[in-house]
Every structure is written in C-alpha cells, then in structure tokens.
C-alpha cells in the first residue's frame, strides 16, 4: 500500500500503532512533542488488566481480553528484535475486602475468567508480607504486569531499526492541514508535514488538538501519582489490591504502589500529600514497606474518557484523520488490541474485533 502516515504522539498507543502499520504502508512518521514514551505510558503501573475488570463495559473487556492473550508474544518479539525485555511478569492478583465481590465473581463466571474466591488464610500463605486484618480475598491467576518503561523503550528501538519509519522527537504538532474536507498533514513548528493519513494518539492532549478542527473530544488529563520501593525479588509474589490502592511486583523486587486520581489540568508535579497517602496505603497493604525507602515518586497524565472507552477509528467529516486515544486507566493493557484495530481500519483489513463501540462517529461534540 502506497501511503505516508503521520502519527501524532509517541506513547504506547502511537508507537505500537506505528509498529503495526510499518508492515503495510510505505512510510510512517511518529511525532512527539517530547521524547517518545515519556508521558503516561512511562508513568503507568503496567498491570495487564483493568483494576476492576467487572466494572467496565463489554467494549473495554473485548479490548482487554484480546490484548492480554497477545502480550506475551508481543514482548517476546520485541525482546528478540531489540534485546530490551519488556518483562511481562505473570504474578496473579489478589483483591482484598471488595464491596462488590459478588459482582466480580458473577462477571468472571459469565466471561469464563479464572477469578475465584479464596480462603483468606490461603491469601496470607501465598503473600506472607500482607498486612493484618483482611477478611476476604478473590484471586485471578495469570494476571501479568509489563515493565512499561521498558516496553516503550523496546518499541522505540524496534521502530528505529525499520527503514520506513522515522521518529521525530521534540516535534510539536499545533494543528492539521486540510484541503476540501480531507486532512492532508499536520502543522509543526518547522512547517507542514504532509500525509495521506494522520493518526491522533496524543494521549491526554488529544482533545486539545482536535479542538483546532472545532471538534469536542471529551478526553481530559487525569493525574496519577505512584511511588516505588526496592525489596528482595521474592518479597511480593503476587500483585495485591485493597481500598483502591495496589502494589505491583517487578521481577527484580521493585514494588510500585499507586495511584491517585486527580483532576489538576496538565499539572503533573508530584505532591507531598500524595506521597504520604500512598506510603500509608503501602504500609497498610504490606507493613514491611515501613522500613523500605521510597526510591522514586512521580506523576503522569492519563487520557481520561467517558467510561474509559477509547476512541478508535475515522473522524467523520475529516477524511484521512483517525483517532486512537482516550484509554484512560487502561492504555497499557488495551494497547495491543487498540493498535491492531486502528491499523485494520486504516488499511481496510478485516477488523480484529468489532469496531462499533470505539467509533468516534456520534461521540464527538
Ligand atoms: C499513575 C498511572 C498508573 C497507570 N497504571 C496503568 C496500569 O497499571 N495499566 C494500564 O493498562 N494503564 C495504566 N495507566 C494508564 C496508561 O498509562 C495510559 O492509558 C496510556 O499510557 C496512554 O497511552 P497514550 O500513548 O495514549 O498516552 P501517552 O503515553 O501520554 O502518550 C501521548 C504522547 O503524545 C505526545 N503529545 C501530546 N501532544 C502532542 C502534540 N501536540 N504534538 C506531538 N506530540 C504530542 C506526548 O508527548 C506523549 O508522549 C496508568 C497511568 C498512570 C498515570
């Protein structure tokens, strides 16, 4: 296919879209206003599951399940071609003292997911570091986390090795070039960059950019803060989640604890209050963390969207413009299916899953 595609935003969504597109189109250019992959896709925790999967619509579930199955092979392929291992770490996940445990179990039964109620003593046996006082647990085996900073590094390296892909960092897009109802490129600081198709995957900034076309895309920045500890590699054998806060174990003993949900515009300054609150949650979940230093604390901006249902597909009335954005709290888990679906739609291939729920048509103001 003879096409030049410009992708706006090099987070996990833009980079993986480029990776999938490169096999089918002549040229792919990814522009990021900063460095590739250094925004939300770096800041996230990398749980390869929505935090409470039963609370989401079938639309989010469909993307999540396809992606969960695909993650191990994606990571293997990237590791083999770049030498950077995204470390898909399968630990399982325990939810403790959930209010809607019955809903979770019903959902799992309907969806055929391996989520079951476990005796709390079994949870304490499996995770000896768990704090006292929990009464109920449900467990899903097979849930993984991906080391997202390495995932984006590895995607960037894989793309740098492809002759028909160019990555432009520190290249801010300020709008779109249009001619007769068709988007023909993007506007950069250095002039216009022409394209047959443009994919908008600018995360939390996507709404701002679409506004330049007079379209209202309800994607807003939702700040999330995380803290990081370093423990022995066997300290936390499973991910755990209670009262909305979770601990994620990396293979080398790093433990991430998150996260806050804050509406602060584009401010992503880490705050002392969040640090204290996250540290208190960490110690409640895993009391030995009281003795561990917090080795890092950061914030990122999630691309918040109504119900967390992303926008994937063509923008009506602006031929040549495509959206892949608004993945909110689940952009890492939803990335493989979302990016495959967008590429299928753009190249006219048979879509990997039903595209209807994600179509921008009828969802833009
Ligand atoms: C604290 C926290 C925890 C999270 N935990 C998880 C989790 O456990 N599991 C999960 O699945 N998801 C998680 N997420 C959500 C996930 O990180 C996001 O949904 C995902 O990274 C969004 O990817 P993206 O590529 O759309 O956005 P981003 O990674 O933000 O990328 C967008 C890119 O667009 C660029 N850009 C913006 N405007 C312009 C412009 N005008 N011109 C050029 N470039 C531009 C930006 O520089 C940026 O690099 C978490 C997020 C946070 C903040």
Q: Which atom of ligand 1 is nearest to the CA of 47?
A: 8
pLDDT band at 293 (very low <50, low <70, confident <90, very high): very high
| In-domain check, residue 352 | yes
Query: What's the number of domains the chain is made of?
Result: 2
The token duo for 105 is: 């179990």
| In-domain check, residue 279 | yes
Q: In terms of domains, do 115 and 232 share one?
A: yes
Q: Which of 6, 8, 9 to mutate to test the pocket of ligand 1 (most atoms within 8 A of CB)?
A: 9
Ligand 1 center–CA 220 separation, angstroms: 12
Q: In terms of domains, do 126 and 263 share one?
A: yes
- DSSP alpha helix (H) spans, 171-291: 206-211, 272-285
Residues 283 and 290: beta-carbon distance below 8 Å? yes
SS3 246: strand
Q: In terms of domains, do 228 and 213 share one?
A: no
pLDDT of residue 14: 99
| 116-155 confidence digits (pLDDT tens) | 999 999 999 999 999 999 999 999 999 999 999 999 999 9
Q: In terms of domains, do 193 and 280 share one?
A: no
Q: In terms of domains, do 288 and 184 share one?
A: no
Q: Does any ligand 1 atom lie closer than 6 A to the CB of residue 329? A: yes
Q: CATH code at 99?
A: 3.30.9.10
Q: Does any ligand 1 atom lie closer than 6 A to the CB of residue 300? A: yes
Range of the domain at 237: 93-141+220-304
Nearest partner of 302 among 229, 175, 228, 207, judged by Cα: 207
Q: Which atom of ligand 1 is nearest to the CA of 173?
A: 42
Q: Which of 228, 332, 342, 358 to mutate to test the pocket of ligand 1 (most atoms within 8 A of CB)?
A: 332
Q: Which of 147, 202, 207 to mutate to test the pocket of ligand 1 (most atoms within 8 A of CB)?
A: 202
Q: Which atom of ligand 1 is nearest to the CA of 331?
A: 19
Q: Does any ligand 1 atom lie closer than 6 A to the CB of residue 6? A: no
Q: Please indicate, yes or no, whether the overall pTM of this predicted structure exceeds 0.75.
A: yes
| 220-232 confidence digits (pLDDT tens) | 999 999 999 999 9
Q: Does any ligand 1 atom lie closer than 6 A to the CB of residue 323? A: no
Element (H, E) at 14: helix 12-21
Question: Helices 12-21 and 148-160 sit at what angle, rounded to 10 degrees?
Answer: 40
| In-domain check, residue 79 | no
Burial class (CB in 10 A: 0-12, 13-18, 19+), 92: middle
| In-domain check, residue 77 | no
| In-domain check, residue 68 | no
| In-domain check, residue 61 | no
Length of the chain: 365
Q: Which atom of ligand 1 is nearest to the CA of 171?
A: 43
Q: CATH code at 26?
A: 3.50.50.60
Domain finish residue from 304, 325, 347: 304
Q: In terms of domains, do 214 and 231 share one?
A: no
Q: In terms of domains, do 8 and 22 share one?
A: yes
Average pLDDT, the chain: 97
Q: Does any ligand 1 atom lie closer than 6 A to the CB of residue 13? A: yes
Report the chain's C-alpha Rg in angstroms: 20
Q: Does any ligand 1 atom lie closer than 6 A to the CB of residue 331? A: yes
Strand pairing class (197-200; 254-258): unpaired
pLDDT of residue 2: 56
| In-domain check, residue 199 | yes
Q: In terms of domains, do 137 and 237 share one?
A: yes
Q: In terms of domains, do 209 and 323 share one?
A: yes
Q: In terms of domains, do 333 and 297 share one?
A: no
Q: In terms of domains, do 129 and 161 share one?
A: no
Nearest partner of 219 among 209, 229, 232, judged by Cα: 209
SS3 242: strand
Element (H, E) at 188: strand 182-188
pLDDT of residue 1: 62
Mean pLDDT of 82-106: 98
DSSP string, 84-115: ----EEE--EEEES-TTHHHHHHHHHHHT--E
Q: In terms of domains, do 250 and 326 share one?
A: no
| In-domain check, residue 87 | no
Ligand 1 center–CA 267 separation, angstroms: 14
Mean pLDDT of 244-260: 97
Ligand 1 center–CA 322 separation, angstroms: 17
Q: Does any ligand 1 atom lie closer than 6 A to the CB of residue 44? A: yes
Mean pLDDT of 19-32: 97
């Amino acid at each position: 296919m003879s096409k030049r595609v410009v992708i706006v935003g090099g987070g996990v969504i833009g980079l993986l879209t480029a990776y999938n597109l490169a096999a089918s189109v002549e040229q792919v250019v990814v522009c990021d206003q900063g460095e590739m992959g250094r925004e939300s896709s770096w800041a996230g925790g990398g749980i390869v599951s929505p935090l409470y999967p039963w609370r989401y619509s079938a639309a989010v579930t469909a993307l999540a399940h396809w992606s969960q199955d695909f993650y191990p092979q994606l990571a293997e392929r990237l590791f083999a071609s770049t030498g950077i291992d995204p470390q898909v770490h399968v630990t399982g996940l325990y939810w403790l003292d959930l209010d809607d445990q019955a809903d979770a179990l019903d959902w799992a039964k309907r969806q055929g997911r391996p989520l079951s109620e476990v005796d709390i003593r079994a949870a304490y046996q499996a995770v000896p570091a768990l704090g006292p006082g929990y009464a109920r647990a449900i467990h899903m085996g097979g849930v993984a986390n991906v080391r997202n900073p390495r995932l984006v590094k590895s995607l960037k390296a894989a793309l740098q090795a492809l002759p028909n892909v160019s990555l432009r960092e520190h290249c801010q897009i300020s709008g779109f070039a249009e001619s007769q109802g068709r988007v023909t490129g993007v506007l950069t600081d250095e002039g216009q960059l022409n394209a047959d198709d443009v994919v908008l995957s600018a995360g939390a900034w996507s709404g701002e950019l679409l506004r330049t076309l007079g379209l209202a895309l309800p994607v807003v920045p939702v700040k999330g803060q995380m803290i990081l500890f370093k423990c022995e590699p066997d300290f936390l054998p499973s991910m755990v989640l209670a009262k909305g806060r979770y601990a994620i174990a990396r293979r080398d003993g790093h433990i991430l604890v998150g996260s806050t949900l804050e509406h602060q515009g584009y401010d992503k300054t880490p705050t002392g209050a969040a640090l204290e609150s996250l540290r208190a949650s960490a110690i409640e979940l895993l009391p030995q963390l009281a003795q561990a230093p917090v080795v890092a604390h950061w914030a990122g901006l999630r691309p918040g969207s109504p119900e967390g249902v992303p926008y994937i597909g063509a923008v009506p009335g602006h031929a040549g413009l495509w959206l892949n954005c608004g993945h909110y709290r689940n952009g890492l888990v939803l990335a493989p299916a979302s990016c495959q679906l967008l590429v299928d739609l753009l190249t006219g291939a048979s879509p990997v899953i039903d595209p209807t729920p994600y179509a921008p048509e009828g969802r833009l103001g």
